[in-house]
Amino acid sequence: MQRRAFERVPVHIDIRFYNCDTDYHGTIKDLSENGMFISTNKMLFPFDPAIEIIIPFAEKLLKVPVKVIRMTKTDDVFDGIGVTLLDDHHDYLELVNSIKTA
């Protein structure tokens, strides 16, 4: 069994993102230094794999560019995405570290 490069930390953080002219709300369910899993409402297609996640943190909004690497489906509805960061994002890493040390 392959181990993850970074430990996943369970969280509950409400976020937003836009994709193909649709505004989505979701909840980060777990995160690590290089990615996160987001539970969402019903996703519509087409769906661009490169998106920007907007995360409230420390009195500001983090805009984190990510790439969708997997989608989850419950019954006939796509309702979750696993994403990986597209670049090193200092503020996002600060968020992860603050959660890990809390």
- Position 16 scores a pLDDT of 95
The amino acid at 15: I
For 35-97, strand residue ranges (E) read 35-40, 50-57, 60-74, 77-85
Q: What percent of the chain has pLDDT over 70?
A: 95
Provide the token pair at 12. 């509950």
Radius of gyration of the chain (CA): 13
DSSP letter (8 states) at residue 92: H
- Position 22 scores a pLDDT of 87
- Position 21 scores a pLDDT of 85
Provide the token pair at 76. 């006939």
- Position 2 scores a pLDDT of 54
CATH pick for 9-101 out of 2.60.40.350, 3.20.20.300, 2.40.10.220, 1.10.150.120: 2.40.10.220
- pLDDT < 70 stretches in the chain: 1-5
**The whole model's pTM is what?**
0.89
Quick check: 50 and 64 in contact, CB under 8 A? no
- Position 14 scores a pLDDT of 97
Can you give the residue ranges of every domain in the chain?
A: 9-101
Burial class from Cβ neighbours inside 10 Å (0-12, 13-18, 19+) for residue 74 reads: exposed
